[in-house]
C-alpha cells in the first residue's frame, strides 16, 4: 500500500525500472530535457478551433509544418474529440481521419515522431502499421479490452492517462476521497498490468480536465512532483483547457497566456512532455526553462 503523500513520504512503483531514455523506432529519446508534443486534431469539433485539420491534407500539412518548424519533436494525431460531451465517432470514421494523415507525415517528415491519440485498439494498430510510433490512450486501456494486448504486441511506447468513464459522462465522475492517492494507486495497478502483458515503455498522464473539477485540476498541478515517484516520463496536457479559461474568465481562444504560465509551472515540477496547441510559445517556455536550469 502507498503511504499518503507528504513531505517525508516516498511513493515508488517497482514494475518498471527508472530510466532517463525511451526507445522509439530505433531512436533513443532522452528525458534529461523536456520534449514538445504538438496537437493535430483531425476532427471538426475539438474545443480549440486552431488545432483542427479535419478532412484536408492541405490543412494537415500547414499545421504539421508549423509545429515542426516551431520545435515540436512529437506530433499527436487524434480523430475522436475527447472534450466533455463530445459526439461519438464510428470506428471507421476515426480510421479514415487518422490514417491518411499518418501516412502523409511519414512520407514528408520521416524523422518526426507520431503519436496516435486513440482509445481503440484497431485504430492504434492501423496507425502504428502506417508509420506512427506511440499510442496515446486517454483511458489507459479501460475503454477497449484489446488495447493493452495490442500495444504489447506492437512493442511501442504507451501513454496511459487517468480518466473515469468516457468523454460523454466523465464530468459526472469527480467524486474522490483523496484524488492524488487514488490516481497514484490507479497508475500503480495499471503499471503492474502493463508489465504482465510485456509493455516495456510507458509514459503517464494525470489527465487534467478528465473527470476532474476545476479545484481538483489545480490541486493535482500543485502536487505534480508526486508523480515523479513512479519513475516514468510524465506528460502534462493543459493547453487552453477549461481549467485555464474558467479561472481567467476567458474562452479557449484567449487562454494562451494562462497556458504558458501553467506550462512553466509544470516544467518546474517534473513534466517531461508538454502537449500543446501553440508550439512556438511553448518552445519559448522551454528555452526560458533551460536558461533557468542549464
Catalytic residue among 19, 103, 241, 280: 241
Written as nine digits, the cell of 146 is 484489446
Catalytic residue among 52, 254, 275, 280: 275
In this structure, the number of other CB atoms found within 10 A of the CB of residue 43 comes to: 25
In order along the chain (294 residues), what is the average pLDDT of each group of 10 residues?
Answer: 40 50 79 91 64 68 94 95 75 94 95 96 98 97 97 97 90 94 97 96 96 97 96 96 95 95 97 96 97 93
pLDDT confidence of residue 166: 86
Beta bridge partners of 28: 23
Written as nine digits, the cell of 123 is 485504430
pTM over cut 0.75: yes
- Is 52 marked active-site? no
- Is 33 marked active-site? no
Q: Which domains does the chain have, with CATH numbers?
A: 34-289 (3.20.20.20)
Residue with cell 531514455: 21
pLDDT confidence of residue 92: 94
In this structure, the number of other CB atoms found within 10 A of the CB of residue 82 comes to: 23
Amino acid at each position: 500500500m502507498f503511504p499518503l503523500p507528504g513531505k517525508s513520504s516516498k511513493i515508488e512503483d517497482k514494475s518498471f525500472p527508472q530510466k532517463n531514455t525511451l526507445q522509439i523506432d530505433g531512436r533513443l529519446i532522452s528525458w534529461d530535457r523536456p520534449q514538445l508534443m504538438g496537437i493535430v486534431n483531425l476532427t471538426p469539433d475539438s474545443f480549440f478551433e486552431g488545432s483542427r485539420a479535419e478532412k484536408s491534407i492541405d490543412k494537415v500539412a500547414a499545421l504539421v509544418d508549423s509545429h515542426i518548424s516551431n520545435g515540436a519533436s512529437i506530433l499527436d494525431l487524434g480523430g475522436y474529440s475527447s472534450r466533455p460531451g463530445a459526439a461519438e465517432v464510428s470506428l471507421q470514421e476515426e480510421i479514415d481521419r487518422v490514417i491518411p494523415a499518418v501516412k502523409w507525415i511519414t512520407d514528408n517528415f520521416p524523422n518526426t515522431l507520431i503519436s496516435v491519440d486513440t482509445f481503440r485498439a484497431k485504430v492504434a494498430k492501423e496507425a502504428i502499421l502506417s508509420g506512427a510510433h506511440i499510442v496515446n490512450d486517454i483511458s489507459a486501456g479501460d475503454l477497449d479490452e484489446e488495447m493493452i494486448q495490442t500495444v504489447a504486441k506492437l512493442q511501442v511506447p504507451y501513454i496511459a492517462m487517468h480518466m473515469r468513464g468516457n468523454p460523454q459522462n466523465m464530468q459526472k465522475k469527480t467524486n474522490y476521497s483523496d484524488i492524488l492517492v487514488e490516481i497514484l494507486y490507479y497508475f500503480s495497478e495499471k503499471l503492474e498490468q502493463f508489465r504482465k502483458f510485456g509493455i516495456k515503455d510507458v509514459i503517464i498522464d494525470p489527465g487534467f480536465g478528465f473527470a476532474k473539477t476545476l479545484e481538483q485540476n489545480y490541486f493535482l498541478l500543485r502536487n505534480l512532483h508526486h508523480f515523479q515517484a513512479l519513475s516514468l516520463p510524465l506528460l502534462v496536457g493543459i493547453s487552453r483547457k477549461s481549467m485555464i479559461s474558467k479561472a481567467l474568465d476567458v474562452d479557449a481562444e484567449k487562454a494562451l497566456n494562462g497556458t504558458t504560465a501553467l506550462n512553466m509551472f509544470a516544467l518546474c515540477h517534473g513534466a517531461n512532455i508538454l502537449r500543446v496547441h501553440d508550439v512556438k510559445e511553448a518552445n519559448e517556455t522551454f528555452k526560458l526553462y533551460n536558461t533557468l536550469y542549464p
